Amino acid sequence: MIAVADNTTIYLLCPANLSTGGPEELHQLGAQLNSIGRKVFMCYDNYDKEKNTSPVHDSYKKYNVPFCFEVENNKNNIVIFPETYSHKVWDKEFSKTQKVIWWMSVVFYLKTLENTKKRFEKKKFYSIKKYFKNYPVPTVKKLRDSAINHIAHSYFSLDFLRKNNIKVIGQISGYMDEIFHDDKDLKSRKENLIIYNALKNGEFLNKIIKLTPHLNWLGLQGMTLQEIADWMARAKVYIDFGFHPGREKMPREACLLDCCLISGKQGSAQFKEDMPIPDEYHFVDSEQNIPAIISKIEDCLEHFEDKIKDFEHYKNLISNEKKLFEESVNSIFKTNINL
C-alpha cells in the first residue's frame, strides 16, 4: 500500500499542453486528490518555457490543479507515472520518492518499452550494463522486482498485470465530462445517422462504409467537446472497430447520449468488463462478419427505440463512474501513515 503522510506531496507526471484521454484523467486524479486535502501538483514534462505560455491545456484549467516542473525528492513524497513514463522511474530526480505507475494503456506501455530498448541499445557499454542489470529499461520483470506500486485502469490492464505477477494496489478509471450527461429525453432528436471516431478506425470500417452508400455516416474529427456531444445526441448508432488501448472515451460518451453501440474486440474492447454490451453488438473484425454488422446497423436504425434499451445497463454503469472514481482514489490515497 502507498504510505501517505500529512506532509506528503503527490506529483502527477504529465505532458504539457496536451489534450488526450490520458492527460485528462491525470487532471481528474489531481482534482480529486485536492478535494480530499492532499497536497498535489501536476508536474509537466517537455514544456518549452521560451514560448511563455501556460503548460496547462485550456481543457484542463477547470480542474484547478497546481503545477510545477520539478519534484522534491524525498521519501515522504509520491510520484505517479503514467505507463508511458515508466522508463523514468529510475531517474535520479525521483530516487528517494515512492513510485506509482498508473496503467492507463497496455499498448502504449509496450510501445514505450520497445522505444526505450532501441534507444538504450545505441549507448556505449550497453552489453556490460545489461550484464550487470544496470540499465533503466522498464521490462515487466524489472518493474515486478522493483519497489514500485501499480494501479490498474481498465480490466485490460488489470488482466495484463495479474498475468505477469505484478501486484496491483487498486484500480482507478476516469469519468466522462459533464457535457455528456444529458438528462433530457433524446429520442425526439435522433436521426438515421451513424457516427465513428475518424482518427482511430481504419480499413475495416472503411470497407463497411463503402458497402453502405445508402446509409448516413459521419466521422468525428477535429471537433470541440460540445460539437461531439451535439452529434452524439443526434445519432442513433456509434461504431468503433479501432484498437482500444484502454477504456476508450468515445464509446462511453456515445452511450451516455443514447447511441446504440457496435464494437470490435481489439484491445480492451475484448473484455466485457471494459465493454459490457450484448453479444449481438460485439463483433470480431473479419470479412465474414461484415454482412451481419451491416444488418445490425440497419436493425438499430429501424428499431432504435427498442434497441437502445439494450444499453441501459452500460449507461447506468457509466453514469456512476465519477462516484466509483472518487471512492477508488479516496481508498488508495486517504490513509495517513507516520513516516
Give the CATH number for residue 205. Answer: 3.40.50.2000
Answer yes or no: do 102 and 209 share one domain.
Answer: no
Question: Which of these three, 174, 199, 223, is where a domain ends?
Answer: 174
Return the exposure string of 95-125: e unless at least 16 CB atoms fall within 10 Å of the residue's CB, then b: eebbbbbbbbbbbbbeebbeebeeeeeeeee
- Give DSSP secondary structure letters for 147-166: SEEEEE-SHHHHHHHHHTT-
What's the chain's average pLDDT?
90
Express each pLDDT in 292-317 by its tens digit: 999 999 999 999 999 999 999 999 99
Answer yes or no: do 164 and 191 share one domain.
Answer: no
Question: Which of these three, 132, 148, 174, is where a domain ends?
Answer: 174
Within a domain: residue 336? no
Answer yes or no: do 61 and 125 share one domain.
Answer: yes
pLDDT at 28 over 90: yes
Question: Which of these three, 174, 197, 224, is where a domain ends?
Answer: 174
Within a domain: residue 333? no
pLDDT at 127 over 70: no
Answer yes or no: do 20 and 159 share one domain.
Answer: yes
Cell of 263: 464494437
pLDDT confidence of residue 134: 56
Answer yes or no: do 70 and 207 share one domain.
Answer: no
Within a domain: residue 132? yes
Within a domain: residue 151? yes
Answer yes or no: do 189 and 159 share one domain.
Answer: no
Within a domain: residue 115? yes
Answer yes or no: do 210 and 251 share one domain.
Answer: yes
Answer yes or no: do 121 and 30 share one domain.
Answer: yes
pLDDT at 339 over 60: no
Within a domain: residue 70? yes
Q: What is the pTM of this model?
A: 0.90
Within a domain: residue 330? no
Q: What is the CATH number of the domain that holds 17?
A: 3.40.50
Q: Which helix (H) or strand (E) holds 313?
A: helix 312-319
Answer yes or no: do 123 and 220 share one domain.
Answer: no
**Is 288 exposed, middle or buried, given 0-12, 13-18 or 19+ CB atoms closer than 10 A?**
exposed
> Distance (Å, rounded) from C-alpha 104 to C-alpha 128?
33
Answer yes or no: do 275 and 192 share one domain.
Answer: yes
> Distance (Å, rounded) from C-alpha 258 to C-alpha 239?
13
Answer yes or no: do 48 and 163 share one domain.
Answer: yes
Please measure the distance between the N-terminal and C-terminal CA atoms of the chain and give it in whole angstroms. 13
pLDDT band at 243 (very low <50, low <70, confident <90, very high): confident
Within a domain: residue 108? yes
**What is the residue range of 57's domain?**
9-174
- Domain tally, the chain: 2
Answer yes or no: do 224 and 304 share one domain.
Answer: yes
